[in-house]
Amino acid sequence: MSEAPRPPEVDRLAASRKAVEARRARAGLKRDIAMRVVTPQSVLRRATADPRSAAGTLRVPEFLTAIPAIGAGKRDRILADLGISPVKRLGGLGGRQRDALRGWLDLRWPEPEPRPARSSLVVLAGPTAVGKGTVAAYIREHHPDVMLSVSATTRQPRPGEVDGKHYFFVDEAEFDRMVANGELLEWATVHGTHRYGTPRGPIDRAVAAGRPVLLEIDMQGAFQVRQSEPRASLVFLLPPSWDELVSRLVGRGTEDEEERARRLRTARDELAAQGEFDFRVVNEDVPTAAQQVVDLMQASAR
Ligand code: 5GP
């Protein structure tokens, strides 16, 4: 009997390249779970829809330890309780095991439910470098019906920025005056340097007229708006993946190691706060994300 023919060299190379890519995709997915860019339930859904995907080929024990607060001991107890063998991959679970795993996840880490919009005032926030500014600029360009709030700031204009369009550029004394007069709906010191605030008057007028209003502000500001305007909807913009956020954050290469580490820590903490928001939108591509935000405003204006 002759030996089975060996696959040609090119096929073997392609196969090993594919295996490396698949491993990399699974590692990326585990980081997304760890950093809360995706929910464990959404990974399970992907695995069910496509058992050959990165989610589908992820081993269940690895999936579990990627979830924050699950270590090796807890992982083993969960596997035993749910009767899942440690060699199982997520996409290879039987219906009953999958339901048991989903039920367990829903109990421990309930997925945030979108809360219905109650007013046409929408706040867009999210982690540093996720692209809020780009999404807001796209809305300004393509949806003139939406009023984009113009913030006051004490920072200097950048090249191309127009006073009254991008920001109202004010000095410290003027900002103090606005705060003292209660002219700002919210304000915050951002990145520990300059102050930014949302002028209240134009927003009150637009909301009274039923016009959709969008605020693109930082997370501290978003929570302040909720306090003074409980009907406002808070939208959290998510990156398509943790790796993508990291490359947007550090990609510019202008910060030193310490600053980069600080920004990554901030981004992780910001992602951990997403449960406080009413909606989540993934910034996979800007026009789609912008459309989702606009749809939300229109739904609530009805
Ligand atoms: P930049 O200086 O790059 O334009 O903005 C820096 C940060 O300030 C961004 O995260 C932006 O969301 C935030 N920001 C802009 N305007 C306001 C505002 O009126 N209030 C608050 N709290 N943050 C703002």
116, pLDDT greater than 90: no
pLDDT tens for 140-156 read 999 999 999 999 999 99
| Alpha helices, DSSP H, located in the chain | 9-34, 40-49, 60-66, 72-82, 95-108, 132-142, 172-180, 200-208, 219-228, 242-250, 257-272, 286-301
The larger pLDDT score, comparing residue 114 to residue 66, is at 66
| Alpha helices, DSSP H, located in 111-171 | 132-142
Amino acid letter for position 88: K
State what percent of residues in the chain have pLDDT above 70: 96
pLDDT tens for 31-49 read 999 999 999 999 999 999 9
Ligand 1 atom closest to 184 (CA): 19
When pLDDT is cut at 50, 70 and 90, the band that residue 300 belongs to is low
Distance 32 CA to ligand 1 centre (A): 26
161, pLDDT greater than 90: yes
Lowest mean pLDDT among 235-244, 251-260, 268-277: 251-260
Q: What is the mean pLDDT of residues 75-97?
A: 96
Q: What is the mean pLDDT of residues 165-175?
A: 96
Q: What is the mean pLDDT of residues 126-147?
A: 94
Rounded Cα gap, residues 139 and 286, in angstroms: 10
Q: What is the mean pLDDT of residues 168-196?
A: 95
2, pLDDT greater than 60: no
Asked if residue 216 has its Cβ within 6 Å of ligand 1, the reply is yes
**pLDDT averaged over every residue in the chain:** 92
202, pLDDT greater than 80: yes
Which residue's alpha carbon is nearest to atom 20 within ligand 1? 197
**Contacts for 9 with CB less than 8 Å, ≥ 6 apart:** none
Q: What is the mean pLDDT of residues 110-137?
A: 90
The pLDDT value given to residue 262: 85
Measured at the CA of 64, the angle between CA 62 and CA 67, to 5 degrees, comes to 110
Distance 187 CA to ligand 1 centre (A): 9
The larger pLDDT score, comparing residue 6 to residue 91, is at 91
Among 190, 203, 236, residue to substitute to test ligand 1 (most atoms within 8 Å of Cβ) = 190
**Contacts for 68 with CB less than 8 Å, ≥ 6 apart:** 34, 36
The pLDDT value given to residue 254: 66
Under 8 Å between Cβ of 71 and 65? yes
Asked if residue 215 has its Cβ within 6 Å of ligand 1, the reply is no
Distance 199 CA to ligand 1 centre (A): 13
